[in-house]
Amino acid sequence: MFIMTKRRLITAIAAAVTSLMLVIGLPFVTSLHDQVAQATTTLRVYAAVSLTEVIQDIENAYNTDNPGAQISFINTLDSSGALLTQIQNPTNESAGIPDIFISAATTQMNTLQSASKLASGWPVTVATNRLVLIKPTTFAAGSPTPSFSGFSTLTNASVRGIAIGTPTTVPAGNYGKQVLESTVSGCGGNIYTTLLNNSKLVFANNVRDVLSAVENKTLSSQTIDAGIVYTTDKDTSSQVSLVATAAQNCHSAIVYPAAVLSRTTNGTAAASFANYLSSSTARDKFTDLGFGVP
């Protein structure tokens, strides 16, 4: 009888301890589950297509550095002008898309700022770049072989086509137009109109399309012998070579302003990542891929 009573007592104590552990542990498990559920936020980032590689590197670094505040990034990459058009779409605004915008020029960002579409304290310049003239490593068949040594020599009769971003929507194209129009010594020699009238300029939707056109030696059914892109775009390809780098006084400053948009519903996460774009880690990522930093 004593043995049975003792066994019942032990069983009761064990049950009580188990119940106590469950009571104590349940809030912890629930809290942990809530933390995990809340830890991942989705941010939609609209970024200039020239940032394709570096923005992914920085996003990965951010998540590594912030294990308790993981972000799922959804990137849309295109010309800054095309992205601006999407941002101005009322459907995207009502949906809070995007959270962050990084353009390759001040023009598009200024448009949004003037319309009070940016969160307070933005934009902030996070990177810079240089403009270059490139050619394919081997020219398309034909005679004579294209001959040019810089921007001002693109009027040579042997040059069949020059790929350039549409200046009104593609910052690299606008910078390129500035170079070609410049009369400053060492720039383009004011040849833009001449090239345009001679059908030598072939326009692309963004700077990476320009790069592809030079790689493939064709755009819009026209033979391409040269293109104007950023130095960072050139560095992504083994199928093109450098002809010349535009002097910085040939065009306005090439900068990448970043901003959190006022429409975001993830303001804390958006500001955290946008600020991270100016961190020492992000600056290293930019310079590793050939960008400058302010």
Residue stretches of the annotated binding site for molybdate: 50, 80, 172, 207, 230
Could you tell me which residues are annotated as the binding site? 50, 80, 172, 207, 230
How would you write the chain as a 3-class SS string?
Answer: CHHHHHHHHHHHHHHHHHHHHHHHHHHHHHHHHHHHHHHCEEEEEEEEHHHHHHHHHHHHHHHHHCCCCCEEEEEEEECHHHHHHHHCCHHHHHCCCCCEEECCCHHHHHHHHHCCCECCCCCEEEEECCEEEEEECCCCCCCCCCCCCCHHHCCCCCCCCEEEECCCCCHHHHHHHHHHHCCCCCCCCCCHHHHHHCCCEEEECCHHHHHHHHHHCEECCEECCEEEEEHHHHCCCCCEEEEEECCHHHCCCCEEEEEEECCCCCHHHHHHHHHHCCCHHHHHHHHHCCCECC
How crowded is the C-beta side of 178, counted as CA atoms within 13 Å? 18
